[in-house]
Amino acid sequence: MYAAVSIYDTTLRDGAQAEGISFSLEDKIKIAQRLDAIGVPFIEGGWPGSNTKDVEFFRRIQTVQLKQAQVAAFGATRRAGIACEADNQVALLLAAETPVLTIVGKSWDLHVHHVLETTLAENLAMIADTVRYLKDHGRQVFYDAEHFFDGYKANPSYALECAAAAQGAGADVVVLCDTNGGSMPWEIEEIVRKTRTHLAERAYLAEQPGAAALGIHTHDDAGMAVANALAAVRAGCAQVQGTLNGIGERVGNCNLCTVIPNLQLKLGVRCLEDDQLRRLTELSRFASETANLGVNPRVPYVGASAFAHKGGIHVAAVMKVEHSYQHIDPALVGNERRVLISELSGRGNLIYKAQQFGVDASKEEARQVLEQVKEQESRGFYYEGAEASVALMLHRLRPGYRRPFELIDFMVVVEHRQGRGLFAEASVKVKVGDNVMHTAAEGNGPVNALDQALRKALIPHYPRLAEVHLADFKVRILDGESATAATTRVIITTKNGHRDWSTVGSSPNIIESSWQALVDSMEYALLPET
C-alpha cells in the first residue's frame, strides 16, 4: 500500500532533553551502535553548538565503524541579520563532519515576531540561506519546520512559504514538526496532504525535478505522537522521526518502538528487515536501562506485559488459537507470550506454567495449586511477580519430591550499640537429611543476617548456592490503615549468574515475609534447571 519509510532516530538529542535523563558519552556511543545494528538509517547525535559532550560525540563517532547508519548533526538556521559564513553555530555544524545536517527553523509567525523578533521575510531568508549554504558544502540537509502545524493553523500561507523556502534552497527532506504535540491525527493528515500538493506545485513552477521528500516529527503532549506519525505517512511522509521508548521533551516524542511495528505490521510499510524487527524488544530494554529509567512493562509491542495473559478464559483460548487474544505474534518484535498466575487464573494457566517449569501436571494437580494460589492471595501473597513460588507449589505435589532442607526455627536480633551503630544478628536451625545445623551470622540488616546464616548452614551441603545472590527486594504495605500492624508483602528477586527468579512472602511481620520469600528462593535454586 505504501512505499518504504526511513526512520530517523533522535534519542541522543531530543530524547536527551527529557527530564531526568543525562546520557554519558559512552552511553551515546553504545546507543548509536545498537541503532545501527538494528538497521535505523539516520541517527541524530546531538547539537554541537549546545555543549562540549556533543562536540566530543561527533569526534568519537567518526572512529566507530557503523554498518549502514548515517549520523546527523542538529542545529538552527543562521541568526537574523548574520550571514551563514559569520554564524558560529553554522560553523560548528559543518565542523561535526557528519554526512547529514538537520537544521530547525520557524514556521509559525508568532515565533518569528515574538521569539526571533525579526520579520517574516528575514525568517524566510534565514531558512533558504542556511539550507543552500550547507548544501553547497556537500551535505545532505534535512529541514525541521518547527511548529509547522500550529503555524499552519494560524497562518497557512506563511507556514507553506517556510516549507517552500527550504525546498527551493535544496533541502533533501522537509520535516513537518508538531512541536507542541497538540495536533490531532485528522489535522495532521489533512495538513500534510495540502503541504505535499503545495510543494509539488512550487517545484513544477520552479522547474525543479521534483518536490522535496516530507518527514514527520511529533511530540506526545496529547497522547497522539504515534497516531499522528501514522497519519502523516498515510498522507505521504517518507521519513518518521522519533525516539526509543518515546523519551523526550516534556512528555516525550513519537515512540519508535511502537510506530515501527505499526508501520511495518499494520500499514505494510517497510522500515526494517524482519530479523532486525525481531531485535526491537531487546533494543527497547537496553535503551531503558541505559537511560536509567527501568523497563516499563506496559508499552505496546515491546513491554513485558504486552503479551501477558491473566484471565483464565483468555489463556484457554490462546492455548487453542494463539491469535484469539493476540493482535500479532510476539516473536515478530522479539517479545514472548506470558501466562500469569493469580486468583483470576484458570486451570489452563497452571498447566501452561507447569510445562514451562518442566512439570507434567495433571488437571487435578493444577486445581490443587490454583486453590492454594487463591487462598494465599487472599492473605496478601501475589504470584504474578513471583512465578518461582508457583513452580515450587507444583514440584511439591510431585510424587517423590523431597524438600532439600527443612526449617526448624530462626531468630533475629537488631541492635544499636554506641560506637558500632546498627547491626543485625540472626540464627537459624535447619535440617538437611538427617543432619541438623544451627548457625548464626551478622548482617547489615535482618534480611541480610538471615540470608547469611541460612547460607552458612546450606552451602556445605549444596555448594552451588554460593553462586546465588539477592538481586532485588521489594516491600509493599497492603493495608495502610492498619499502620505498623499492616500486612507486608515481600518479593525477592534472586540470581545465580545466568538466570533469575522471584519469590514471595506475606505476613503482618516483615521479617517473616522476608523469610518466606528467602527460603523459597533457596529451594528454587536447588531445583533441576529446565
pLDDT at 353: 64
Lowest model confidence (mean pLDDT) among 88-102, 160-174, 336-350, 453-467: 336-350
Q: Which residues of 474-509 are buried (b: 16+ CB within 10 A; e: fewer)?
A: eeeeeeeeeeeeebbbbbbbbbbeeeebbbbbbbee
Q: Is a pLDDT exceeding 60 seen at residue 483?
A: no
**Among 365, 396, 427, residue at a domain's last position:** 396
In a domain, 280, yes or no: no
Q: How high is the pLDDT of residue 124?
A: 98
- Shared domain for 314 and 204, answered yes or no, is no
Range with the poorest average pLDDT among 30-44, 45-59, 268-282, 382-396: 382-396
Domain match, 62 and 164 both = yes
**Residue 140, domain member (yes or no):** yes
C-alpha gyration radius of the chain: 29
What are the φ/ψ torsions at residue 11 (nearest 5 degrees)? -55, -40
b/e 9-33 (16+ beta carbons within 10 angstroms → b): bbbbbbbbbbeebebeeebbbebbb
Q: Which domain holds residue 367?
A: 308-396
Domain at 515, CATH number: 3.30.160.270
In angstroms, rounded to a whole number, what is the distance separating the alpha carbons of residues 250 and 18?
6
Mean pLDDT of 179-205: 96
Residue 100 bridge partners (DSSP):
72, 140
Element (DSSP H or E) covering residue 506: strand 500-507
Label residue 190 by pLDDT band (50, 70, 90). Answer: very high
> Does 90 score more than 70 pLDDT?
yes
* Beta carbons of 67 and 109 less than 8 angstroms apart: no
List, as own/partner pairs, every contact residues 114-123 make where C-beta atoms lie below 8 angstroms and the sequence separation is at least 24, other chains included: 116/80, 117/80, 118/80, 118/81, 120/158, 122/80, 122/81, 123/80, 123/162
> What's the mean pLDDT in 134-158?
98
Collapse the DSSP code of 283 into the 3-class scheme (helix H, G, I; strand E, B; otherwise coil) and give the result: helix
CB atoms within 10 A of CB 467: 11
Residues 214, 144, single domain; the answer is: yes
Chain CA centroid to CA 81, Å: 43
Residue 385: what pLDDT?
Answer: 67
Q: Are residues 253 and 385 in the same domain?
A: no
Give yes or no: residues 322 and 469 share one domain.
Answer: no
For residue 506, pLDDT over 70 is answered with yes
- What confidence score (pLDDT) does residue 414 get? 86
Does residue 95 sit within a domain? yes
Return the amino acid letter for 371: E
**pLDDT at position 123, please?**
97
Lowest-confidence pick of 379-393, 399-413, 464-478: 379-393
> Distance of alpha carbon 483 from its chain centroid, rounded?
36
Do 62 and 178 lie in one domain? The reply is yes
Domain check: are 28 and 77 in the same one? yes
Q: Is 443 among the domain residues? A: yes
Mark whether 181 and 213 lie in a shared domain.
yes
Is the model's pLDDT at 104 over the cut of 80? Answer: yes
DSSP string, 174-224: EEEEETT----HHHHHHHHHHHHHHHHHHHHHTT-SSPPEEEEEEB-TTS-
Task: Among 396, 425, 450, identify where a domain stops.
Answer: 396
Instruction: Report, as an integer, the average pLDDT of 33-62.
Output: 93
Residue 30 lies in a domain: yes
The 10 Å Cβ neighbour count of residue 48 is 26
Residue 282 DSSP SS3:
helix
Q: What is the pLDDT of residues 404-451, one digit of tens each?
A: 999 899 999 988 777 667 778 999 999 999 999 999 998 888 888 999
- Each as own residue / partner, the long-range contacts of residues 307-310 (CB below 8 Å, 24 or more positions apart, any chain) are 307/335, 307/336, 307/337, 307/338, 308/337, 308/338, 308/339, 308/340, 309/337, 309/338, 309/339, 309/340, 309/349, 310/340, 310/342, 310/344, 310/345, 310/349, 310/384
503, 418: one domain: yes
- Describe the chain by its helix, strand, coil percentages, rounded to 5: 45, 20, 35
Of the candidates 463, 465, 413, 459, the one whose C-alpha atom is nearest the C-alpha of residue 437 is 459
3-class DSSP assignment, residue 296: coil
What pLDDT shows up at residue 428?
93
Please write the tens of the pLDDT for every residue from 247-282: 999 999 999 999 999 999 999 999 999 999 999 999
Clarify whether residues 255 and 159 are in a common domain.
yes
CATH of residue 39: 3.20.20.70
Domain boundary among 357, 375, 396: 396
Helix (H, G, I), strand (E, B) or coil at 245: helix
Q: What's the gap between Cα 271 and its chain centre?
A: 19
Q: What pLDDT shows up at residue 387? A: 80
Name the β-bridge partners of 470. Answer: 494
Mean pLDDT of the chain: 89
Instruction: Please write the tens of the pLDDT for every residue from 161-189.
Output: 999 999 999 999 999 999 999 999 999 99
Query: Which are the contacts of 81, defined by CB distance < 8 A and separation ≥ 6?
Result: 118, 122
In this prediction, residue 530 has a pLDDT band, given cuts at 50, 70 and 90, of very low
Q: Kindly report which listed range (15-19, 386-390, 510-514) carries the lowest average pLDDT score.
A: 386-390
CB–CB of 412/425 below 8 Å? Answer: yes
Instruction: Say if 105 falls within a structural domain.
Output: yes
Q: Is the pLDDT higher at 173 or at 474? A: 173
Q: Report if residue 292 sits inside a domain.
A: no
226 and 100 together in one domain = yes
Our count of domains for the chain comes to 3
Residue 290 domain flag: no
Burial class (CB in 10 A: 0-12, 13-18, 19+), 221: middle
Shared-domain flag, residues 117 and 198: yes
